[in-house]
Amino acid sequence: QSVLTQPPSVSGAPGQTITISCTGTSSNIGSGFDVNWYQQLPGTAPKLLIYGNRHRPSGVPDRFSGSKSGTSTSLAITGLQAEDEADYYCQSYDNGLSGVVFGGGTKLTVL
């Protein structure tokens, strides 16, 4: 069971907008620790998608955006494309565990 909670799956049609939630607790996200998001295509290593809750690394399309409120964060993808089909993970730091924590991952299916 992961420290950060994500829905196991989401789906959407091409062109639509989807959001993936990531809920934590007062010992991680609620303590003010940043959340980062990763995209993992099948058979590959994760790729940093969003850092510091809402910032995109160079090269990441602006269709991807992140937000944070209290103990929850969200990743939004607008204008869904077939190539967005992947697993998405949130990540933060946990004071109680004194270490990095990941969400359980969300599988995005583009219909």
Partner 1 sequence: QVHLEESGPGLVKPSETLSLTCTVSGGSVSSSGFYWEWIRQPPGKGLEWIGNFYYDGTTSVRPSLRSRATISVDTSKNHFSVKLTSVTASDTGVYFCARRHDILTGHDGFDVWGQGTMVAVST
Task: Give the interface with partner 1 as residue ranges (CB under 8 A).
Answer: 2, 34, 36, 38, 44-48, 51-52, 55, 57, 87, 89, 91, 93, 97-105
Where b means 16+ CB within 10 Å and e means fewer, 73-83 reads bbbebeebeee
Shortest distance, position 45 Cβ to partner 1, whole Å: 4
Q: With respect to partner 1, which residue has the nearer C-beta, 29 or 79? A: 29
Q: With respect to partner 1, which residue has the nearer C-beta, 15 or 52? A: 52
Q: With respect to partner 1, which residue has the nearer C-beta, 38 or 86? A: 38
Shortest distance, position 8 Cβ to partner 1, whole Å: 10
The alpha carbon of residue 17 and the mean position of all alpha carbons in its chain are separated, in whole angstroms, by 15
Shortest distance, position 79 Cβ to partner 1, whole Å: 24
Q: With respect to partner 1, which residue has the nearer C-beta, 77 or 92? A: 92
Residue with tokens 């969300």: 106
Q: Would you list the DSSP string of 38-69?
A: EEE-TTS--EEEEBTTTBPPTT--TTEEEEEE
